[in-house]
Amino acid sequence: MHVIDSHTGGEPTRVILDGGPDLGDGPLSARAARLARDHRDFCNAVTQEPRGQTAMVCALLVKPVDPGCVTGVIYFDAGAVLGMCGHGTIGLAVTLAHLGRIGPGQHRIETPAGVVTVDLHDAARVTVTNVESRRLHRQITVEVAGIGPVTGDIAYGGNVFFLVDPSPIAVTRAQIPQLTNLAIALRDALHAKGIDGPPVDHVILYGPALTPEGHSRNFVLCPDDCYDRSPCGTGCSARLACLAAEGQLAAGAEIVQESVIGSTYRLSWQPGPTGGVIPRITGSAWVMAETRLIFQPDDPFRAGIPL
Ligand code: PYC
């Protein structure tokens, strides 16, 4: 299995060029559902140790339905198959450029959530124009033991997010274990509450920016219970939808989102065709390794070390 690893603002992406399961034809959402249902061992084997690493998101290349797309892609981490992935799309564009498959300019990529556009500015810098994003619920409150009531919005940005601003715990590197536990408790409480609509799969906690140009700093919990080292492209899309719905950010205005480790994206939005927002996310990725993964039949950990 031929893979290329990159990182986007510290968050790893593994592009799988060949050797993945045959998911058949049809819409990418149906192929993603097949991957989640029938190929859990494959997903674990490439994301988890000993071949994968903490927080790794894989990008499985597939044939697009839309012939105008340079590729189709299905993203997954060790916990779930994702609808879309912003940092992964930045990493994928940089990887395709590294392979000589795309050059500077605009390209379309098909994901289970829909077609997204990438503008490759140079070997590392990419702008992703994401699928239409929207706020689904305003001000939902859940109770967390030891913390009390916590209130946030639920929004869609290619995945489904619970966004809490301000976080009851400081959004700093020193607090990452506490932030992780709180975010897991919030996700569990939301699932137990049974809120209408698609289930929340990611949680974002916001604190003040630590740089002069930053709008805020975020901590993002992903389905694998790891935190996103990048500011999370789909999470930023959900954030833009909430800021727009509250009248707190005008169309076209740009803000800088910091991640909990200090990496940044530049964000803006335009009105979408059905009342949501079309987010634009700009960030940078770097290729780190080109590898051929080997799976020996007698290797007891060929399907990864379970979470
Ligand atoms: O950047 O959208 C993103 C993302 C989702 C999960 C990890 N990163």
Which candidate in 69, 226, 232, 236 is catalytic?
232
CATH topology of domain 2-129+288-292: Diaminopimelate Epimerase; Chain A, domain 1 (3.10.310)
Confidence of residue 62 (pLDDT cuts 50, 70, 90): very high
Best of 47, 77, 232 to mutate for ligand 1, by most ligand atoms within 8 A of CB?
Answer: 232
Confidence of residue 302 (pLDDT cuts 50, 70, 90): very high
Residues lining ligand 1, Cβ inside 6 A: 11, 57, 82, 85-87, 222, 228, 230, 232-234
φ, ψ at 43 (rounded to 5°): -60, -45
The verdict on whether 85 is a catalytic residue reads yes
What integer pLDDT is reported at residue 3 of this predicted model? 98
Structure tokens at 183: 């975010």
Confidence of residue 33 (pLDDT cuts 50, 70, 90): very high
Which candidate in 58, 85, 222, 242 is catalytic?
85
Q: What is the pLDDT of residues 83-134, one digit of tens each?
A: 999 999 999 999 999 999 999 999 999 999 999 999 999 999 999 999 999 9
Confidence of residue 215 (pLDDT cuts 50, 70, 90): very high
CATH 3.10.310.10 residue window(s) in the chain: 2-129+288-292, 134-282
What integer pLDDT is reported at residue 306 of this predicted model? 77
The mean pLDDT of 284-293, rounded to a whole number, is 98
Are residues 38 and 21 in contact, defined by beta-carbon separation less than 8 angstroms?
yes
Q: For ligand 1, what atom is nearest to the CA of residue 8?
A: 1
Confidence of residue 77 (pLDDT cuts 50, 70, 90): very high
Burial class (CB in 10 A: 0-12, 13-18, 19+), 121: middle
Confidence of residue 289 (pLDDT cuts 50, 70, 90): very high
Task: Mention the CATH class of domain 134-282.
Answer: alpha beta
Q: What is the pLDDT of residues 148-205, one digit of tens each?
A: 999 999 999 999 999 999 999 999 999 999 999 999 999 999 999 999 999 999 999 9
Are residues 107 and 71 in contact, defined by beta-carbon separation less than 8 angstroms?
no
What integer pLDDT is reported at residue 186 of this predicted model? 98
State the pTM of this model: 0.97
Question: What is the percent of the chain with per-residue pLDDT over 90, rounded to a whole number?
Answer: 99
Strand 202-207 to strand 160-164: parallel, antiparallel, or no bridges (unpaired)? parallel
The whole-angstrom separation of Cα 4 and Cα 219 is: 26
Nearest-CA residue for ligand 1 atom 5 is 85
Best of 47, 53, 87, 263 to mutate for ligand 1, by most ligand atoms within 8 A of CB?
Answer: 87
- Gap from CA of 233 to ligand 1 centroid (Å): 6
- Looking at the predicted structure, is the pLDDT value of residue 307 above 90? no
What integer pLDDT is reported at residue 201 of this predicted model? 96
Length of the chain: 307
- Gap from CA of 1 to ligand 1 centroid (Å): 23
The verdict on whether 232 is a catalytic residue reads yes
